[in-house]
Structure 1
């Protein structure tokens, strides 16, 4: 169901519920008022009849004389029965009155109180005890009649309320439809604008209208998402461009060497030289392909994390670096290590192979470009954060280079002519992010570079 239809339906149901509740209250109040008013009229009619009969002494012997029984009736189909102090019938407005039912009602009558009895069809009955101030005798009067005018008015009120609710319902549906359309008009505008955005024009943005309401906030969120998508698409295009270039170079070298060997090599030494060059190009192609696969693998689903000792990952990476760069000095230091705990230090939840790979990339960069010792420090940045800092004495990076170092296949000016493909830092950063940490690179030209890794540690 469309949102406009949902809003219209909910608005209609809400207003209809309010209308029905208000109409029910009016009808109930009117019905209750009618009943009270008619009971008061019945009591008045009975009191008048009792007063007339007592003052003319017609009730003492139960003889009306010249007074006709119908002379005391004022209401539609009214019936009056008056019983004396000894509970004998002294007056009855008609012989057809069910006096057995009236006698059963007599015991419920008490002085000073008007008693109402259940309605029988349209006939309503009340009873009261009546006496004159000058007489000690108490007479019990039962009066019943039909409130034809009251019921007619109540039926008219019910019809009027029903017609009013039907008319109001029609107006409510129309108003709800127009209101929902007006409220959703900005959404339709955003939908139209978003429909015009595609992969070829991600630079377009949605109108943020007044910039204050919820729809403006939605437009801002979508614009932020579009900016991220545009950046991701640009990064992907840059990555594909660099990857194709990097892959093309060893493939071209390999193909050219083999073609040259096939055409011109006639001796074994010449063939061995061509094979050596081809093998070097193939190895470079294999390394680059593996690096690209590792970068894609980190973005996919990872195995469940297990407890890992970070110091062991650092030691394993340092052992490999010492063998790869035997002339380089590698220093390891532990600082600000908690001493007031018996917990196993340097523990965190993660993947040991990936963490070792990340540290290898950072140490390899430091060993590759540093002209002096490489310092590695492990410390607790806080009670639940492990910090690893790797500092080299290399040429450093400019602010412009620092801004681009996380782009896959990007290489700084100082890296030209050195082995590598520009995939180590992007891979390391994604590994650290997947472990809930962060990677920070600080550098300045001529002052070396410091790579800092922060990872959430297990509780101490």
Structure 2
């Protein structure tokens, strides 16, 4: 069911429930008022009958004189019955009155407590004990409130017609207001349908930027901006990857074709094979780096406590092998008061963290001929910080903006070995561990890479 139909249905049911409740209250109030008013009339009629017949002594003598049966009737269809102290019928306004209901309640009458009851569907009756000269006479008066029932029927009809009409108006109003409320959603849907992978630069209209619809459009625009950036990064990655893969493949194929056509001696063949093997190694290394970058986006093993100082020491050992004679310094900063064995613990994967630190150290040694400094300290009580500082040529602000793009290489790195995948891989590893990587660089002075990682709870 469409949201518009749901809103209209709920709005209609809510208003209908309010209408029915209010109508039921009005009907109940009017019916109760009618009953009380008519019961008061019956009680007055019974009291009047007692004054005219019992108090004057006419029932005691059995002589009604000039009073006729019809003279006491003041209500349409009224029936009056009077019983003596011994329970015998002394007077009835008509001979055809059914006395059975009165006899059933005769013994239940108490002085000062009128008894109200109904006979059939609409005939209402009252019985009361009337005292005269120490004796009690029992008077029953019943009648049909024709005027009251007719008015109650008109009220019922009026409420029914009013509710039906109000229901129709409520449906129309619900349809209009739900459409008006969802009009911004329909506009967002129309605009979103015009956005595709080929025009991700389009954005949704954000309206007044204050209400919920505007916030929804703003959220979509943020998502679209992220998708556009991801698509651009993917396009750039695919472009660079195809270019980087094409170069060693072209070299490999060209070398093999040349060897097949022109190599005549074993020495020439060995030279061609050596060049082909170098191209194959380059292709193998590039392929493994691309696979590692894709793999890090998948599911990682469950994190376990890892000694970050051991990961850093292991990365330093690897770098010393690749750059013999290079000065590598490891410095420890301020540490919290804790057991020495647990002070550098972080939750994560030791192999991945070692790879991330190794990439940063390898970059520092690759682009700097001077000493490389590694610092390990606490940034605060819950965060460990690793800094890799070199004195290389540094990076320009424009290069720093693109340094995390896969396969991107700065101008000073074109002549150096590498694929432009180390920093993107390192950034993803750090982010998957709940940390953050930042590079600060000044041209001609060097680069500082800083990693923040959440420490394990002490």
Same fold (TM over 0.5): yes
Counterpart for residue 174 of structure 1: 172
Q: Does the Cα contact within 8 Å between 1:373 and 1:393 map onto a contact in 2?
A: yes
Distance 2:77 2:106 in 1: 21
Counterpart for residue 400 of structure 2: 402
Q: Name whichever of 147-156 and 118-127 sits farther off.
A: 118-127
Q: Which secondary structure state, in structure 2, belongs to the residue aligned with residue 406 of structure 1? A: coil
Give the drift of 1:109: 3.5
Distance 2:374 2:342 in 1: 21
Counterpart for residue 10 of structure 2: 10
Q: Quick one: which of 203, 228, 235 aligns to 1:230?
A: 228
Counterpart for residue 117 of structure 2: 117
Distance 2:134 2:59 in 1: 14
Q: Which runs of 5+ in 1 are unaligned?
A: none
Q: Quick one: which of 269, 275, 282 aligns to 2:273?
A: 275
Distance 2:90 2:456 in 1: 101
Q: Residue deviations 1:339-391, cap 9 Å, x none?
A: 24587222222122211111111111111112222111222222221211111
Counterpart for residue 289 of structure 2: 291
TM-score, structure 1 normalization: 0.94
Distance 2:327 2:57 in 1: 136
Q: Aligned runs of 1:120-269 on 2, under 5 Å? A: 120-131=120-131, 137-269=135-267
Give the drift of 1:17: 0.8
Q: Quick one: which of 429, 438, 441 aligns to 2:439?
A: 441
Size of the alignment, in residue pairs?
458
Distance 1:446 1:95 in 2: 128
Q: Does the Cα contact within 8 Å between 2:101 and 2:119 map onto a contact in 1?
A: no
Q: Does the Cα contact within 8 Å between 1:8 and 1:176 map onto a contact in 2?
A: yes
Residues 306 and 70 of structure 1, relative CA distance in 2, 3 Å threshold: same
Q: Which secondary structure state, in structure 1, belongs to the residue aligned with residue 296 of structure 2? A: helix
Counterpart for residue 413 of structure 1: 411
Distance 2:352 2:41 in 1: 96
Give the drift of 1:34: 1.1
Counterpart for residue 57 of structure 1: 57
Distance 1:147 1:190 in 2: 63
Residues 342 and 64 of structure 1, relative CA distance in 2, 3 Å threshold: farther
Distance 1:329 1:142 in 2: 122
Distance 1:369 1:343 in 2: 35
Q: Does the Cα contact within 8 Å between 1:122 and 1:146 map onto a contact in 2?
A: yes
Give the drift of 1:275: 1.0
Q: Which secondary structure state, in structure 1, belongs to the residue aligned with residue 126 of structure 2? A: strand
Q: Which secondary structure state, in structure 2, belongs to the residue aligned with residue 441 of structure 1? A: strand
Counterpart for residue 373 of structure 1: 371
Counterpart for residue 358 of structure 1: 356
Counterpart for residue 91 of structure 1: 91
Q: Name whichever of 144-153 and 411-420 sits farther off.
A: 144-153
Q: Does the Cα contact within 8 Å between 1:59 and 1:90 map onto a contact in 2?
A: yes
Counterpart for residue 346 of structure 1: 344
Distance 1:96 1:226 in 2: 91
Matched, 1:45 2:45: yes
Q: Does the Cα contact within 8 Å between 1:202 and 1:229 map onto a contact in 2?
A: yes
Distance 1:373 1:172 in 2: 81
Q: Which secondary structure state, in structure 2, belongs to the residue aligned with residue 236 of structure 1? A: helix
Counterpart for residue 303 of structure 2: 305
Q: Which secondary structure state, in structure 2, belongs to the residue aligned with residue 15 of structure 1? A: helix
Distance 1:429 1:61 in 2: 119
Q: Name whichever of 37-46 and 255-264 sits farther off.
A: 255-264
Give the drift of 1:442: 1.2
Give the drift of 1:438: 0.9
Residues 101 and 319 of structure 1, relative CA distance in 2, 3 Å threshold: same
Counterpart for residue 322 of structure 1: 320
Counterpart for residue 28 of structure 1: 28
Q: Residue deviations 1:26-80, cap 9 Å, x none?
A: 1111111111111011111111111111353213334424422332122233222
TM-score, structure 2 normalization: 0.94
Distance 1:71 1:42 in 2: 16
